[in-house]
Amino acid sequence: MKTKPIVHSIRYLFKWTLFSLAAGAAGGLTGALFAKAIRAVTGLRTDHPWIIYLLPVIGAAIALLYKLTHEEKNRGTNMVLTAISEGNDVTVPTGPLIFVSTILSHLGGASVGREGAALQLGGWMGRRFGELLHFSDDDRRIAVMSGMSAVFAALFGTPVAAAIFCIEVVRIGVFHYVALIPCVFSAFIGSEIAKRLGVQPELWPIGTVPWTGAVNLLKAAGLGLCCALLSILLVISFHRAAELARKLIPNAVLRAAACGALIAGLTLLLGTTVYSGAGTELISLAMAGNTNIFAFLLKLLFTALAIAGGFKGGEIVPTLSIGACFGALFGTVVGLPVPFAAALGMIAVFAGATNCPIASLMIAMEMFQGAALPFFAITVTLSFVLSGYYSLYGSQRFAFSKTGIKVEEMKKEEADPVSGKTSSE
């Protein structure tokens, strides 16, 4: 027996275990601080609803922050993804900027999430650690994924899903097993530290799970199909809104102020702040059957405006809330238990918009404690396959076709996030 591979494996384990301890600890502390700050400003806005009318000023302030630090062209989460796929840098101001700007966005009530900030904070941290330790280019890419996993897990309390998502999201069809140990270890360490500091995992009761009979499975399949279409609508809306806003108002500061004013005006018109912020309150309402039939479209509109205005935080939690509202509506129409259907909708739209079916199933397992896995498998699979090559992330690549054996190496011919087509089509 050759001992060299064994020695190499032991060195690999030792090296990345030590790195994971550092990345997980730093990610857990950062994630916990970030989560507490988000909670504090959200509570402040809830206690003082008039703060939402300051959103134009807050939006302008965020745009000015990026301008003053010469980060106007900062691509956010897409920058982090290209740091993995192409070895590009994650700029030094990215971490502090995304931390402060996301807090400000949530203070004002912009419909943004937290995962974009988590991925950017973690990727920024991993990149800095990799540079400090003089890692090779390949190892720096792994370090970026490890940092992303740590902060993502700290915020959401779903370490397995965080690790799988950060590996799966970069290049669909290719799973970088070399990153598995650092991502899993750092995710669990980050999650555990955050829990000990008072950050509770995101969990929702799924309620009654129907019998896995043919009729109920067909209903779940129908929901998966509808969620694929909703995912396409969501991605197109988010990207088109950003493009249109840039075209109409080239100045980033004025654009942010205008979109903030539109959001505040819509809030005043509707007489509710339920569509403000990340959307966790809306998820709870959807699972309780307390949302109206237009809730998913209204949340989509509020999120599109926030993205167009340059508010920071990410799209995943709003995407989950849009899926939950649609799932609750679908369940009411076809006769599925509402909390169950809302949960299916959440995960299916997430899968369709991010193209991460394995991570989606892991999120379902952790958020809903393993309930209804056959139904999640059906809805996630259909939403993922039928949503085509649309994606929340323009830097995401597809190494294989979703519907054929032919390899579609998109290193040079990336899928357009809006059209869903490659440059060769």
What is the pLDDT at residue 205? 82
Q: What is the pLDDT of residue 14?
A: 94
Alpha helices in 69-179 (DSSP H): 77-85, 94-108, 115-132, 137-156, 159-168
End-to-end, the C-alpha distance of the chain in Å comes to 50
Specify the pLDDT at position 412: 37
Give the pLDDT confidence score for residue 201 in this predicted structure. Answer: 85
Distance (Å, whole) CA 273 – CA 284: 14
Give the predicted TM-score (pTM) of the model: 0.92
pLDDT value of residue 328: 97
Please give the pLDDT value at position 174: 85
Bridge partners of residue 398, in order along the sequence = 172
CA distance 165 to 252: 31
Gap between the Cα atoms of 294 and 281, Å rounded: 16
Task: Please give the CATH architecture assigned to the domain spanning 214-398.
Answer: Orthogonal Bundle (1.10)
Task: Give the model's pLDDT for residue 2.
Answer: 53
CB 122 within 8 A of CB 137: no
Per-residue burial over 173-210, b if 16 or more Cβ lie within 10 Å, else e, is beebebbbbbbbbbbbbbbbbbbeeebeebebebbebb
Q: Any idea which residue has 């519907």 for tokens?
A: 403
- What pLDDT is attached to residue 405? 54
Closest by Cα among 132, 143, 110, 117 to 30: 117
Helices marked H in 249-315? 252-270, 280-287, 295-308
Q: If residue 332 lies in a helix (H) or strand (E), which one and from where to where?
A: helix 316-334
CA distances to 14, 96, 126, 403 from 389, in Å: 38, 32, 28, 11
Tens digit of pLDDT at every position of the chain (425 positions):
455 678 888 999 999 999 999 999 999 999 999 999 999 999 999 999 999 999 999 999 999 999 999 998 888 889 999 989 888 889 999 999 999 999 999 999 999 998 889 999 999 999 999 999 999 999 999 999 999 999 999 999 999 999 999 999 998 888 889 999 999 999 999 999 999 999 988 778 888 899 989 999 999 999 999 999 999 999 999 999 999 999 999 999 999 999 999 999 999 999 999 999 999 999 999 999 999 999 999 999 999 999 999 999 999 999 999 999 999 999 999 999 999 999 999 999 999 999 999 999 999 999 988 889 999 999 999 999 999 999 999 888 888 888 765 544 443 334 455 545 433 33
What amino acid occupies position 96?
Answer: P
Residue 384 · residue 351 · CB < 8 Å: yes
Conformational region of residue 9, where left means phi above 0, alpha means psi within -120 to 50, and beta covers everything else = alpha
What integer pLDDT is reported at residue 73 of this predicted model? 87
How long a stretch of residues is the chain?
425
pLDDT of residue 86: 87
Which tokens belong to 130? 């990799």
Phi (first) and psi of residue 247, to 5 degrees: -70, -45
All structural domains of the chain with their residue ranges: 4-196, 214-398
Q: Do domains 4-196 and 214-398 have the same CATH topology?
A: yes
CA 326 to centroid of chain Cα atoms: 18
Instruction: Give yes or no for a contact between 235 and 418, defined as CB atoms under 8 angstroms apart.
Output: yes
One-letter amino acid identity for 329? L
- The pLDDT score that the predictor gives to residue 299 is 98
CATH number for the segment(s) 4-196? 1.10.3080.10
In the prediction, which pLDDT does 413 show? Answer: 39
